[in-house]
């Protein structure tokens, strides 16, 4: 059975509408003021299927009540509202519709009109909510698929480099944790994780013999390595569904002092997500095995991050990483 809240300061109107609705198998809660309705919804936590709301009421009229409902409630908790009014002014009706009312019913109340409009609006509201749930579920499926594709691609990138197994996932995880501590929303944390996973995607275009060379790179070979941010940027800019995905790929080798590459950006001219990924990437490079060395001791890594504050790294994000290092008493935050 559908549940209707009837809000009207006049007892006769409340009783008339309540009698019509109950006769047609609706559950009815009758309230005599906007204040009672707000308490009914937000103090008692009641969730009727529809609200019949009078406009002309003392203390708080129907428009003010609706404004407070919109300010207090989440969109997903929205309850359809039909205004009840004895006012025949078209401007009053237009104002209510512009505020988001589903319909207007003029007094005196005609039972057939009242029942028809209530049924129609409740059915429409349920249809809209059902469609919204289906869309949300579909979006969640697509997001899960996107993450899987990105993770697979990141694993393929790491596989090119004998010495960076799991590097992309670790950089993504460190970046997400730094972003979380800095105050990023859950959605923003997911976004930077995806950027971190693909920050080295441009290495797809670098020959394996250069990536896996055990000795010192020649100037020519290093110049080739330095092209991977631009290659990654070109690849990821084609993903129109995630316009910021290329941020980490292009700018994770920029330095806070402007001495990085490929664009020589400095300070806050480097997008924030790239500044986060840069410090996470440097940390993982020092805490991973290389052909020419083992994982560096934690105190050495900490010293390098401290030394790079304000030159290589954004001081704010370097400080967050230093806090993470200090909390890692057993030094577990490194390549396994």
What are the residue numbers of the active site?
A: 203
Q: Which of 305, 328, 334 minimizes the C-alpha distance to 167?
A: 334
Q: CA 263 → CA 221, 238, 302, distances in Å?
A: 19, 20, 27
């Amino acid at each position: 059975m559908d549940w209707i809240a009837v809000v009207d300061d006049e007892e006769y109107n409340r009783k008339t509408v309540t009698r019509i609705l109950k006769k047609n198998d609706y559950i009815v809660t009758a309230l005599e003021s906007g204040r009672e309705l707000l308490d009914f919804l937000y103090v008692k936590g009641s969730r009727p299927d529809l609200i019949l709301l009078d406009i002309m009421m003392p203390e708080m009229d129907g428009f003010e009540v609706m404004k407070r409902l919109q300010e207090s409630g989440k969109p997903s908790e929205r309850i359809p509202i039909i205004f009840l009014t004895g006012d025949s002014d078209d401007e009053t009706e237009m104002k209510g519709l512009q505020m988001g009312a589903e319909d207007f019913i003029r007094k005196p109340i005609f039972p057939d009109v009242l029942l028809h409009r209530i049924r129609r609006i409740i059915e429409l509201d349920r249809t809209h909510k059902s469609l919204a749930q289906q869309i949300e579920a579909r979006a969640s499926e697509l997001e899960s698929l996107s993450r899987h594709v990105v993770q697979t691609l990141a694993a393929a990138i790491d596989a090119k480099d004998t010495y960076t197994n799991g590097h992309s996932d670790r950089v993504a995880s460190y970046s997400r944790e730094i972003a979380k501590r800095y105050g990023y929303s859950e959605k923003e944390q997911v976004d930077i994780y995806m950027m971190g996973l693909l920050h080295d995607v441009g290495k797809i275009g670098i020959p394996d013999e250069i990536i896996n060379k055990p000795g010192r790179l020649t100037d020519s070979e290093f110049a080739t390595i330095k092209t991977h941010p631009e290659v990654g940027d070109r690849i990821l800019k084609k993903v129109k569904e995630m316009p910021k995905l290329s941020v980490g790929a292009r700018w994770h080798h920029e330095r806070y002092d402007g001495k990085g590459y490929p664009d020589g950006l400095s300070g806050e001219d480097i997008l924030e997500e790239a500044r986060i990924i840069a410090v996470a990437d440097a940390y993982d490079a020092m805490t991973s095995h290389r052909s020419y060395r083992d994982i560096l001791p934690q105190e050495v890594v900490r010293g390098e991050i401290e030394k790079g504050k304000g030159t290589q790294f954004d001081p704010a994000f370097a400080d967050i990483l230093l806090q993470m290092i200090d909390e890692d008493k057993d030094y577990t935050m490194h390549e396994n």
